Amino acid sequence: MKGQILEDAPMRRYTSMKVGGPARYLAYPVDAPDLVRVVEIAKAKRMSHRFLGNGTNVIVGDRGVDHAVIRITKMRHMQFEKRTNGVRAEVSGGISLQRFIRECAGRGLSGIEKLYGIPGTVAGAIKMNAGSFGVAVSDHLLSVTYLDRAGRLETRARSELLFGYRTSSFTQSDCILGVAFELTTGESTEIKNVMEQVWGERWEKHPMELPSAGSIFKNTGGKPAWRYIDEVGLRGYRMGNACISEKHPNFIVNLGDARATDIVGLIRKVKQEVYDRLGVTMEEEVELWGCDG
C-alpha cells in the first residue's frame, strides 16, 4: 500500500477517551484504491479489521485489539459546486466534522452549523446520524460513497438509505469514503454567530475540558439518558480515575490515567442500576472494542 502501517499502536493515543491497549496494526490508506488494498491484505491474512476516524465514539479495552485498525483521516477532499437550489458540498469521510462546518461557514453555506462542536469525522457522524439542537446530519444529505463489507465501492442516494435516532443503514463493517450535502447560501457572519452560540452551550453543559467519548447512552423512552442516571443517584460516581460527570451524567470522563476496565465498569453499573430500579434498558451510543470480560 502507499500509506503508512504502524505495529502495536497504543489506542489511547488515537481515541478521545485516552484509554486502550495496542492494536496489532494501524493502517493509514491515502486514497480509495489504497483502502481497498488494505482490506484485501487483511482478508488474505485472515485478519479481522475495523475502521476508525478520530476515535471520539470508541472505547478500546486495556489489552487492546488483535486486528487491523484502518484509519481514514489521511484521505482529505472537499469540493463545492453551485446549483440552482443551493450548493452541493462534497467531503471525504475522514475529515473532521468541525473542520468541514467551519469551511462551509466561511463560504456562507448554511444547514449544518448547529452540529458544530460534535467531535469526530464526517463519516462517524453519518454512521451514527449525529444530531444536536434539532438538526441531524442526514437532514441535508444527498449521497454517500462507501466501501461495503464485501469490499465493493458503492454510492447510495439519501432516498436509498435509512436513518433514525443515532442509527443509520451503515454498520461497523462499512467504511464511508465520501459524503455529498445540499446546503443553502446565507450570511457567513450569521452562520458563525450560530456556531458560537452552539459552542458556548456545549461548554456550559458538557465536560469538554476532560477526555471523554461524548454521550455514553442513547436517549430512551422519550427522556434524555442523563435523567435516568440522575434518578438512580449515579452523578459523580467513580471507579478508579473514571467518573460519571458531575456536569453531565451521560458523560464518563477520564480524570487522569483511567483504565478502560473502569469505564466499562461504570457503563455496566449504570445499565444495571437503571434496569433494576426503573425497569429501563439503557443502550450504549459508544462502541466498545475488546472490552469483553
Which residues are catalytically annotated? Answer: 166, 215, 285
Q: Answer whether 244's CB lies under 8 Å from 236's CB.
A: yes
Q: Answer whether 248's CB lies under 8 Å from 210's CB.
A: no
Sign of the CA dihedral running 240, 206, 232, 286:
negative
DSSP string, the chain: --SEEEEEEEGGGSSTT----EEEEEEE--SHHHHHHHHHHHHHTT--EEEESS-TTEEE-TT-EEEEEEE-TT---EEEEEETTEEEEEEETTSBHHHHHHHHHHTTEESSGGGTT--SBHHHHHHTT-EETTEEGGGGEEEEEEE-TTS-EEEEEGGGS-EETTEES--TT-EEEEEEEEEEE--HHHHHHHHHHHHHHHHHHS-TTS-B-S--B--BTTB-HHHHHHHTT-TT-EETTEEE-SS-TT-EEE-SS--HHHHHHHHHHHHHHHHHHH-----BSSEEES---
